[in-house]
Chains A and B, each alone.
Chain A
C-alpha cells in the first residue's frame, strides 16, 4: 500500500543539495513567503500578548520575585490539580472515542433518511453555554427529575436513587456530550472515503470481521482517530465551565486554578506559572503527537462516498444503524429536548410567552438585545471567524503537508514545520483569562490598538478555531496517494489542475468539517469573549448569561428561549455549511 517516497517532497526543500539556480532560490523564497501571514498572525495575536502578560506577571517591577511562587512548590495541591486535570481528560477522551467510533462506522458506511439532521443535531451541544447544559442535566438527572421520580415511585425509594450532581461521573458525561461530535465528524468523514476493499480482501483471506477491523481498518483510520482524540483531550484538559458548574466546588483543573488565582486573588505570578505549565504540557503532547502522526499517516485507497455508502440491509445492519442513532439521540439530543420543552412551558401549560418576552423591552433598557440583533451579531462574528480560519487553516495545512517529513533535514523549512504543527494547537491549551489580560497589556498602542475593537473577538475566535481546521484537513491531505497526483500530471494536467481536480475534491469535505467547527466555536464561545472589554455588541451566549444573572421566571424563560434560538440557528448553519461546495467541484 505504501507508495514510494513522493518525489515532490524532496523537491520542496529550501536548499536543494544539487542544482542551485535562480529559479530554485526564487521558488524557495516564495514558499517561505507563505509562512509570513501565518507566523505574523501567531506572533501578533498569540505570542506577543502572551509573553507580555507572562513577563509582567513574573516581574512586575522588572525583577523576578519567587515569593508568590512558593505556594506552587510548598504544597502538593497543584500537583494534585495537575494529576486530576490529566486523568479526567484522558478518561473523558477514551470514553468519547469509544462511544463515537461505532457511530463513525455507521455514518461512513450507511445512508439513511434524516442522516444530515442527526449529524447536525449531534453538533449542537458543542455551542451550548455550560450553564444551559447544566440546567438541562439537572432537569434530567437532578433530585426531582423525571428519571428519579419514576425510580422512586417504581421501587419505593425515599431518596432519589440517582444522584450525579457534583460528581466525576457528570463531568465525564458532559465531556462526552460536548465532544462526541468532534470524533463523529473528523473520523466519520475520513472513514467515509476509505475504500472498503482492503477490509473485504482481508476477510476473503479468512480474517474474522473483528480481526479485519482491528488489524486493517483501525490502523488505516489511526491518523484521523489520533487527530480527533488530541482535540478532545486538549479540550477536556483545559475544561473550565463543566468542571466549575457541573463538577461543583470540589473539583479543579489547572484552568480553574489559573482563573481563581488571576481573578480572585490577583496573584499573577502564580497564575502565570500555572499557565506556563498548562502551555508546556500541551506543547509536549503536541510534539509527541506530531511525531507519531508522521509515522502513522500513509496514503490510502480512496473511493467516492457514493460508491461506499448504501442503505442498511438485513436486521443486523438495521439494528446497528438504529442502535447507534438511538445512542446519539439519547445521549446528545434528550438534554436539548428538555431545554426546548422548558422554554415552551409556563405554569405547566404550553406557552410562547418567553419567546414573546424576548421581543419586548418594557423598561427601555439601553442594553436590551433584540433577538434579531443577537443572532446577527453572533452569525457575523462566526462567519468572519470561519473565513479567517479557513484561509489560515488552508495555509497552515498546505505548509504542514509535505508527504513524509524530510527526516534529519536541518533545513529552515523543516524546522519551521516541526515547530508550526504544535504551535497551531497551543491557543487551545492556553488559559483564556491569561490571553485575555495579555491583549489588554499588549495591544494598547497604535497601530495595534485593538483592545476595545470587535476585531479582537474575531481574532480570538480564530485562534481557537484554527486547530480544528488544521486537524481536520491534514489527515485528508496526507491520505492522498502520490500516484494519483503523478498520474494526473503524467496525463498532462498542470499542477493547478492537479490541485483542483485531485486534492480539492478529497480535501473539501474535511475543509467543510473544519468550517463547521470554526462556526461552532465562534457561535458558542463565551469565555474569551467575555474577558475582552468590548462596546455593546452582544452575541447570543452573552444574552443568555445576562438573563441567567437575574431572578424571575421571565428571565429564566427568556434564557431558555434564547438557547433554543441558538440551537436553531446553529442547526441551520450546519446544514447550510454542509451543503456548500467548493468551486462547484463534484462531491467525492
Chain B
C-alpha cells in the first residue's frame, strides 16, 4: 500500500483532477451548438448559416426583419478574409460549414465555380440587377454589391504644394509625382490585386507600352509598396495617417471619400480626399453570394439570398460595407449621393483569366516592381 502511495506523484494527481474539472465544466460553460432552447418544442426555428469574410456588416434591424418574416434564425460565421473563407468552403464542400457563402468576388469567382461548391439558384430578384454584374450565366453565384478600387489623393496637400492632382494612371510616372504614391502588394492585398488588374486592363499585356513597363516606370518614380490596405492608408497616406505618412496618393476605394466624411468627428463641407476617376484607372470588384452544395436548409438558404438581393438589405449595404448595392432599385444614402463619384470607365477583366493568370501576373509584377 505504502509503496504505491510513494510513487504516485501528487503534482500529477492535482493536474489530473484539474483536467477532470475542466472536462466536466468545459462543455457546460461553453455551449457549442446551442439550438436556442427557449423556442416552443412544436416548431423549432429553422436556421440559416451564412459563411462570410470579416468585413461583413449589416444592421441588427435588417437581420431582425428577416428572422421575424421567416420565423428563422441567422447564424453568421466569419472566418478571416475572402480568400481564407473561400478555401475553407472548398475544403469542406462535402460537409459544408454553412448553407450560404457570401463574399466571393470576381477575382476569386473562377476558383469557387471550378471547385463546384455552389448549386444554381435563379432568384426572381435577379431581374432588378443589371446584366453586367451577372458573370455566371448558370446562376451559381449571384451579384450582391460592387465597388471600385481607385487611386485616392489628399486635396489639401496638392493645393498647398501648388501641384495639379493626378487625373490618370499615366500622371503618376511624371517627375512631379516622384515619391508621392503608395500602393498595396497584389500578392497579399485585395485592393492591391485589383489595382494591378486595372493596370493590366488599361495598358494591356502586348504592345509598345505594356502594364509591366508602367510598373517599371512607377518603380523608378519611387512608388512605395505595403502589404495591406490598412498600412498604406493609415501609415503612409498623408491624410489617413494624420501627418505621419508622406504619400499623398494611395490605392483605396471610390467610396473612401464619402466614408471619410461619414466617419469624421467634425462635419465636412466637402470630402478631404478625392478619387482619380480617369478612363480605365479603376478596377471594379463585384461580390457574390451562392447556395452551398449539400446545404442543410435549402429553402431557407434561397429565401435568405432573395432577402440579400432585396431592397431592405441592399439599401443598408453602403453605410455598413462601403460598397454599392447591385440592385438598381435600392436608394443610396445621402452621404453617398453627395460625395461619392463613379469612375468613367472601370476596367473589367474576364474572371476566368484572373484565376488562370493570377500567379504568373503576380510573379511578373514582383519581378518588375520589387526587384
* Chain A residues with a Cβ under 8 A of chain B: 11-12, 23-24, 26-27, 30-31, 33-34, 37, 53, 56, 131, 134-135, 138-139, 142-145, 244-245, 248-250, 260, 262-266, 342, 346-347, 353, 363-368, 384, 387-388, 390-392, 394-395, 398-399, 433, 436-437, 440-441, 444-445, 449-455, 458, 494-496, 499-500, 503-504, 530-536, 542, 545-546, 548-556
Assuming A142-B235, A454-B30, is B54 touching A533 (CB within 8 A)?
Answer: no
- Whether B244 and A555, one on each chain, are in contact in the complex, defined by CB atoms closer than 8 angstroms, is no
- CB pair A549 B11 closer than 8 Å: no
Known: A34-B16, A135-B234, A262-B87. A555 touches B111 (CB 8 A): no
* A455, B88: Cβ atoms closer than 8 Å: no
Chain B residues with CB below 8 A from A452, complex form: 32-33, 77, 97
* Whole-angstrom CA separation of A454 from B31 in the bound complex: 8
- A549 near B54: Cβ-Cβ < 8 Å: yes
A551 touches B11 (CB 8 A): no
Residues of chain B contacted by A368 (CB below 8 angstroms): 60
Q: Can you list 20 A-B pairs, Cβ within 8 angstroms, ordered by A?
A: A34-B12, A142-B246, A248-B227, A249-B185, A264-B83, A342-B242, A353-B265, A364-B61, A437-B91, A451-B97, A452-B77, A452-B97, A533-B51, A533-B79, A533-B98, A534-B78, A545-B54, A549-B54, A550-B259, A556-B234
Of chain A, the residue at the smallest CB distance from B192 is A249
CB distance from A378 to the nearest CB of B (A): 15
- B80 interface neighbour in A27, A392, A531, A546, Cβ under 8 Å: A531
* Neighbouring A residues of B16 by C-beta, 8 Å: 33-34, 37, 395
Taking a contact as CB atoms closer than 8 A, the residue among B79, B98, B231, B240 that contacts A134 in the complex is: B231
A28 to B, closest residue via Cβ: B7
The minimal Cβ–Cβ distance linking B353 to chain A, given in whole angstroms, is 15
Produce 1/0 per residue, B222-259, CB < 8 A to A.
Answer: 00011111110111100011111110000011001001
* CB-based closest 8 A-B pairs: A552-B263, A533-B79, A453-B32, A391-B18, A27-B7, A394-B15, A366-B60, A554-B263
Decide: A533 and B265 in contact? CB cutoff 8 A. Answer: no
Complex Cα distance, B262 from A33, in Å, reads: 61
Report A-chain residues with C-beta under 8 Å of the C-beta of B6: 495
The answer to whether B87 touches A363, judged by C-beta atoms less than 8 angstroms apart, is: no
Contact present for B55 and A495 (CB under 8 Å): no
Specify which chain A residues have a CB less than 8 angstroms from the CB of B230 in the assembled complex. Answer: 131, 548-549
Contacting residues of chain B (103-131) with chain A, CB-CB under 8 angstroms: 111
Chain B residues whose CB sits within 8 angstroms of the CB of A139 once the complex forms: 244
B56 is an interface residue with CB less than 8 A from chain A: yes
Q: Is B76 an interface residue (CB 8 A)?
A: yes
Q: Give bound CA distance, A265 to B246, whole Å.
A: 33
Complex Cα–Cα for A504 and B95 (A): 48
CA distance A561 to B77 in the complex (A): 26
- Interface presence of B90 (CB below 8 A): yes
Which residues in A have their C-beta under 8 angstroms from that of B80? 530-531
Does any Cβ of A come within 8 Å of B342's Cβ?
no
A263 proximity list for chain B (CB < 8 A): 81, 83-84, 87
On whether the beta carbons of A440 and B91 are closer than 8 Å, the reply is: yes
With A444-B95, A452-B77 as contacts: A495 and B9 at CB distance below 8 Å: yes
Q: A31-B9, A495-B8, A531-B80 are in contact. List 16 more A-B contacts (CB 8 A).
A: A37-B19, A131-B228, A138-B235, A142-B235, A144-B245, A144-B246, A248-B226, A365-B57, A365-B58, A395-B12, A395-B19, A533-B78, A535-B75, A548-B230, A551-B263, A551-B322
A266 in complex: contacting residue of B7, B29, B90, B98, CB < 8 Å:
B90
Q: What is the bound-complex CA distance between A536 and B50, given in angstroms?
A: 12
The complex places the Cα of A79 from the Cα of B21 at a distance, in Å, of: 47
A367-B79 in contact given A139-B244, A144-B246, A347-B266 (Cβ < 8 Å): no
Taken residue by residue from 339 to 371, chain B's Cβ proximity to chain A (1 for < 8 Å, 0 otherwise) reads as: 000000000000000000011001000100010
- The CA of A500 and the CA of B233, in the complex, are separated in Å by 56
Question: Which residue in A131, A441, A455, A536 is a CB contact (below 8 Å) of B76?
Answer: A536
**CB-based contact A265/B358 at 8 Å:** yes
Tell me the complex Cα distance, A534–B84, Å: 13
Q: How far is the CA of A407 from the CA of B282 in the complex (A)?
A: 68
Name the A residues within 8 Å of B85 (CB-CB). 533
Complex alpha-carbon distance, A267 and B122, angstroms? 32
Query: For the complex, what is the distance from the CA of A384 to the CA of B7, rounded to whole Å?
Result: 31
Are B78 and A31 closer than 8 Å at their CB atoms? no
Q: Are A26 and B15 in contact, with the CB atoms below 8 A? A: no
User: Inside 8 A of B27's CB, which chain A residues have their CB?
Assistant: 455
Give the complex CA separation of A500 and B9 in angstroms.
11
B156: CB under 8 A from chain A?
no
Q: A260 vs B359: C-alpha distance in the bound complex, in angstroms?
A: 10
Residues of B within 8 A of A342 (CB): 242
Residues of B within 8 A of A545 (CB): 54
> Whole-angstrom distance from the CB of A454 to the nearest CB of chain B?
5
Verify B59–A364 contact, CB threshold 8 A.
Answer: yes
In this complex, what residue of B is CB-closest to A397? Answer: B11
Interface residues on B, range: 35 or more
Please tell me if B37 contacts chain A, counting CB pairs below 8 Å. no
Say whether B10 contacts A500, CB under 8 Å.
Answer: yes
Assuming A144-B243, A398-B9, A534-B79, is B57 touching A366 (CB within 8 A)?
Answer: yes
Evaluate contact between A366 and B59: CB separation under 8 angstroms.
yes
A394 touches B11 (CB 8 A): yes
In the assembled complex, how far is the CB of residue B47 from the closest CB belonging to chain A, in whole angstroms? 11
How many Å lie between the Cα of A441 and that of B319 in the bound state?
36
Chain B residues in 8 Å Cβ range of A388 = 22
- Which residue in chain A gives the minimum CB-CB distance to B263? A552
- Contacts A260-B188, A365-B59, A552-B259; A441 near B228 (Cβ below 8 A): no
Known: A260-B188, A499-B11. A441 touches B243 (CB 8 A): no
Q: Is the CB of B235 within 8 A of A134?
A: yes
Q: Are A245 and B227 in contact (CB under 8 A)?
A: yes
B111, chain A: closest CB distance, angstroms: 6
A436 to chain B, nearest CB (A): 8
CA of A398 to CA of B10 in the docked complex: distance in angstroms? Answer: 10
Chain A residues whose CB sits within 8 angstroms of the CB of B54 once the complex forms = 530, 542, 545-546, 549
A437 — which chain B residues lie within 8 A by C-beta?
87-88, 91
Find A365's partner among B4, B19, B60, B359 (CB 8 Å cutoff): B60
> Once the chains bind, are B7 and A11 in contact (CB under 8 Å)?
yes
A585 and B273 CA atoms in complex are apart in Å by 62
With both beta carbons as reference points, the residue of chain B lying nearest to A450 in the complex is identified as: B32
Q: Is B138 an interface residue (CB 8 A)?
A: no
Contacts of B233 in A (CB 8 A): 551
CB distance from B188 to the nearest CB of A (A): 7
Q: Which residue of B lies closest to A346 (CB)?
A: B265
Shortest distance from the beta carbon of A521 to any chain B beta carbon, whole Å: 18
Q: Which residues of A contact B240 (CB under 8 A)?
A: 551, 556
Q: Does B3 contact A (CB under 8 A)?
A: yes
Closest to B87 in A: A266
Q: Any chain A CB within 8 A of the CB of B167?
A: no
CA distance A554 to B265 in the complex (A): 7
B41 at interface, CB cutoff 8 A: no
Q: Quick one: which of A363, A455, A554 contacts B30, CB cutoff 8 A?
A: A455
The complex places the Cα of A578 from the Cα of B29 at a distance, in Å, of 26
Per the bound structure, the CA–CA distance linking A511 and B180 in Å amounts to 52
Interface mask (B57-82 → A, CB under 8 Å = 1, otherwise 0): 11111110000000000011111110
> Taking the nearest CB of chain A, how far is it from the CB of B13, in angstroms?
9
What are the residues of chain B within 8 A of A454 when measuring CB–CB? 30, 32
Q: Bound state CA distance, A390 and B11, in angstroms?
A: 12
Minimum Cβ distance to chain A for residue B276 (Å): 16
In the complex, the answer to whether B78 meets A536 with C-beta atoms within 8 Å is: yes
Would you give the 0/1 interface string for B166-178, flagging 1 where the beta carbon is closer than 8 Å to chain A?
A: 0000000000000
Determine if A552 and B19 form an interchain contact, defined as CB atoms under 8 angstroms apart.
Answer: no
A392:B60 contact, CB within 8 angstroms: no
Bound state CA distance, A23 and B228, in angstroms? 63
Closest to B193 in A: A264
Do B231 and A495 touch (CB < 8 A)? no
Q: Do A495 and B5 have beta carbons less than 8 Å apart?
A: yes
Which residues of A sit under 8 angstroms from B92, Cβ to Cβ? 440-441, 444, 451
> When the two chains form their complex, are residues B234 and A535 in contact, meaning their CB atoms are under 8 A apart?
no
What residues of B have a CB within 8 angstroms of the CB of A135 in the complex?
A: 234-235
